[in-house]
């Protein structure tokens, strides 16, 4: 009995800590002026969400969250920020659409209220049987997720490989510098008034984003 209540409290403490970490990080992403600080806050949020994943038994997804998201995607963000030299504060005064920020906050409040109303619902599904298989039962989370991915979701899984290849090719083509003289080259800039010297061809290849 004592053990049961102790684990109960531990669950709540873990949940509250992770929730505070995640929400504080997300607020930091939105409010910090410096893109690099935003990236660091994003890492904080990702780790908080990873803890929430672990607390709910999604061990494999928590690992992927930390390795792929915090390890690769965020590094890609940092790479781009550093390569482009855009690590300077944003001019907040320039607000081309007057009243956009109050309107955005209003939209946020309304959206949150709607989520709150939805959360008052007590039934979440029609009660139909699971297609992919149960989450509880014997076997580890990784085993069950792998079985689901390679049986029920085999075709989508294979399609994701095509998607990743397309993304890699797209990244290479998008960041390739066209030879001078050709249309789309640097020689004919659209808006050359305040265009500065182009940075040396950066190549944020997609190697970082292996899944």
Window 33 to 62, contacts with another protein (CB under 8 A): 35, 38-39, 42, 45-46, 49, 52-53, 55-58, 60-61
The label of the residue with tokens 């659209």 reads 190
Number of neighbours of residue 92 by Cβ within 10 angstroms: 8
Among 98, 124, 138, 180, binds another protein (CB under 8 A): 124
Instruction: Identify whether the C-beta of residue 62 lies closer than 8 Å to the C-beta of residue 53.
Output: yes
Q: Rounded to an integer, what distance in angstroms lies between the CA atom of residue 73 and that of residue 65?
A: 10
- CB of 79 vs another protein, minimal distance in Å: 8
Site for another protein contains 82 (CB under 8 A): no
Candidates 17, 104, 158, 187; binder of another protein (CB under 8 A) is 104
Count of residues engaged in binding another protein, rule: CB under 8 A: 102
Site for another protein in 141-180 (CB under 8 A): 141, 144-145, 148-149, 152-153, 156, 160, 163-164, 166-168, 170-171, 173-175, 177
Assess 63 for contact with another protein (CB under 8 A): no
Q: Please answer whether residues 76 and 209 qualify as being in contact, where contact means their C-beta atoms are separated by less than 8 angstroms.
A: yes
> Shortest gap between Cβ of 180 and another protein (angstroms)?
13
CB of 183 to another protein, least distance (A): 14
Tokens of 115: 């989520």
Measured from the Cβ of residue 121, the count of other Cβ atoms closer than 10 Å reads 7
Which phi and psi angles does 73 have, rounded to 5°? -65, -45
Q: How far is the CB of 139 from another protein (least distance, A)?
A: 10
Whole-angstrom Cα distance, residue 170 to residue 176? 10
Assess 93 for contact with another protein (CB under 8 A). Answer: no
Taking CB under 8 A as the criterion, the residue among 1, 2, 3, 122 binding another protein is 122
Please give the biggest Cα pair distance in the chain: 78
Question: Locate tokens 């149960």: which residue?
Answer: 134
């Amino acid at each position: 009995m004592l053990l049961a209540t102790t684990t109960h409290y531990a669950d709540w403490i873990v949940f509250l800590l992770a929730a505070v970490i995640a929400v504080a990080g997300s607020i930091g992403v939105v409010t910090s002026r410096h893109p690099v600080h935003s990236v660091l806050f994003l890492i904080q949020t990702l780790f908080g969400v990873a803890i929430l994943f672990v607390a709910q038994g999604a061990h494999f997804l928590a690992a992927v969250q930390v390795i792929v998201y915090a390890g690769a995607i965020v590094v890609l963000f940092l790479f781009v920020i550093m390569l482009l030299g855009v690590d300077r504060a944003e001019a907040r005064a320039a607000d081309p659409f007057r009243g956009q920020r109050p309107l955005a906050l209003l939209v946020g409040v309304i959206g949150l209220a709607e989520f709150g109303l939805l959360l008052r619902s007590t039934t979440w599904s029609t009660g139909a049987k699971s297609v992919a298989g149960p989450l509880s039962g014997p076997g580890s989370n990784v085993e069950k997720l792998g079985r689901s991915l390679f049986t029920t979701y085999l075709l989508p899984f294979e399609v994701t490989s095509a998607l990743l290849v397309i993304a890699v090719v797209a990244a290479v083509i998008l960041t390739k510098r066209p030879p001078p003289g050709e249309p789309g080259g640097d020689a004919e800039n659209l808006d050359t008034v305040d265009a500065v010297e182009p940075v040396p061809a950066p190549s944020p290849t997609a190697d970082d984003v292996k899944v």
